[in-house]
Every structure is written in C-alpha cells, then in structure tokens.
C-alpha cells in the first residue's frame, strides 16, 4: 500500500460521509434533514480521526486521549485549539467569596457579548491565550480549571460524548452554524449561558486538513502507513 492509496481511501470515506442525506423514509416530514443527520456524520468523522491517529502514533504507547489530542494538534489545521474557552472556564472556576482577578477578567470579557442577540459568534471572539490567563490565576485550582478548558481538551470530551452517548452535548443549536468551519458560541434567548458548538462543517474541514497534513508527514519521514496497520483477521485476540 502506497501513501497515496492510504490517504485516498480516507478521502473517499470523507466524501461518502459528506454525501449522507436523511431520506423521508427515515426522517418523515422533518424540515431540517441536514441537521438531523449531523450527529451521524460527526461520529463517523470522529472514528476517522481515531483511526488516523492510531496509525500516526503507532508504537508510542499513548492513551486514546493523548493520541486523539496529539493528532488534532499536529495535523488538524486548528492552531486555535490551544486557546482557552472563556465561557466554559468562567463556569468551571471554583465558587468562592474570595476576590479573583481571573474571575473579574472573565466577567468583563463575557460582558462585552449580548447573549440575547440571537446569533452565533466564532470561538475566536471569546477564547484567550493560556499564558494570559495563567498570569491572573490565584492558585492551583484556578490554573487547573484553565488547563481543563483548553479547546483541544474540550473537543476530545465532545468526541467522547458523541461516540459513547449518541447525542449532542450542551444543547448547542446545530442549525445556527451547520457548515461553519470553526467552533461557535451561542446562547438561548433568556439564558445568559454561552453554549459551545463544534459544527458539522468544522469536522469535515478538519478531516480534509488532516489528510493533507499526514500525507505530507508520511512522505517526508519515509513512512509506509501499511506497515502500521494490524492484520484484522484475528481481531478478537
């Protein structure tokens, strides 16, 4: 198997997943078939990312979390994955009456956005660099909350929810950002909470970027990906 035949297989699968449509026999009179099948597409995209990550980091004894995050970071074409989600960090900060520079900073940042505006905003409008927030942290619990609110970490948690529970986490409204190519935040009218959504378009863009990147990587390193693929005849062993 050549590098090109390896990546061509996944490119064909990406096109197949992208072409999935919900027929009337399955969705009835649904007015939003694209939205209804989005979760199916996302789950399939996640399995593709998992598979590619397993080949890329073959033999490195990484956990599934470590492989997934490393692959998205190294090949997903998403440098903003390093950023910290301000809305989620604000929720995660330990509740205390002690004044917090970090909490005040987050409240000021969130106060610049109107949750009742009825629109979505790209993650870049909210998220901040970790080193900026770490300088405001008062103790280890705040620094831990910052680390856990990194987009790469949140995307892995989102992946787990999709795959293991077969439902969208967080009540994000997919119709508001179906084909958006970056994560989005939105709020429901009357609710001040900003909800993080990884749209279907974000997944498909990431797969395409990852395939181009890993093709280049295998070529530059002289790696034959077929040598890293286990014989599945004894899949049960």
Contact (CB, 8 A) for 165 and 172: no
Closest CA to 169 of 81, 86, 46, 49: 46
Give the rounded percent of residues in the chain with a pLDDT score beyond 90. Answer: 71
Q: What is the DSSP letter of 114?
A: -
Q: Residue 179 pLDDT > 90, yes or no? A: no
Average pLDDT, the chain: 91
Number of folded domains in the chain?
1
Per-residue pLDDT, 170 = 80
Question: How crowded is the C-beta side of 52, counted as CA atoms within 13 Å?
Answer: 36
pTM over cut 0.75: yes
Residue 150 β-bridge partners: 84
**Per-residue pLDDT tens over the stretch 121-163:** 999 999 999 999 999 999 999 999 999 999 999 999 999 999 9
Structural domain span for residue 92: 3-234
Q: Residue 102 pLDDT > 70, yes or no? A: yes
Per-residue pLDDT, 171 = 77
Per-residue pLDDT, 26 = 65
pLDDT tier for residue 191 given thresholds of 50, 70 and 90: confident
CB under 8 Å to 193, separation ≥6 — which residues? 87, 91, 115, 187
pLDDT tier for residue 178 given thresholds of 50, 70 and 90: low
Residue 121 β-bridge partners: 185
């Amino acid at each position: 198997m050549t590098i090109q035949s390896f990546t061509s297989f996944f490119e064909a699968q990406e096109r197949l997943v992208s072409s999935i449509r919900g027929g009337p026999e399955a969705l009835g009179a649904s007015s939003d078939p694209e939205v209804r099948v989005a979760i199916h597409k996302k789950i399939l995209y996640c399995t593709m990312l998992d598979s590619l990550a397993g080949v890329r980091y073959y033999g490195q004894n990484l956990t599934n979390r470590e492989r997934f995050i490393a692959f998205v970071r190294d090949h997903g074409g998403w440098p903003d994955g390093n950023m910290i989600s301000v809305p989620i960090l604000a929720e995660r900060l330990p509740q205390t009456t002690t004044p917090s520079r970090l909490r005040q900073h987050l409240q000021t940042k969130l106060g610049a956005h109107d949750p009742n505006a009825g629109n979505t905003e790209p993650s870049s409008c909210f998220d901040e660099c970790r080193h900026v927030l770490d300088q405001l942290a008062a103790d280890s619990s705040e620094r831990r909350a910052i680390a856990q609110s990194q987009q790469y970490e949140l995307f892995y948690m989102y992946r787990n929810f999709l795959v293991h529970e077969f439902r969208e986490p967080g009540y994000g409204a997919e119709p508001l950002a179906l084909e958006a190519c970056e994560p989005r935040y939105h709020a429901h009218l009357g609710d001040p909470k900003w909800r993080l959504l990884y749209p279907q378009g974000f997944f498909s863009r990431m797969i395409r970027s990852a395939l181009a990147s890993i093709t280049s990587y295998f070529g530059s390193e002289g790696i034959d990906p077929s040598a890293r693929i286990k014989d599945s005849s004894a899949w049960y062993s």
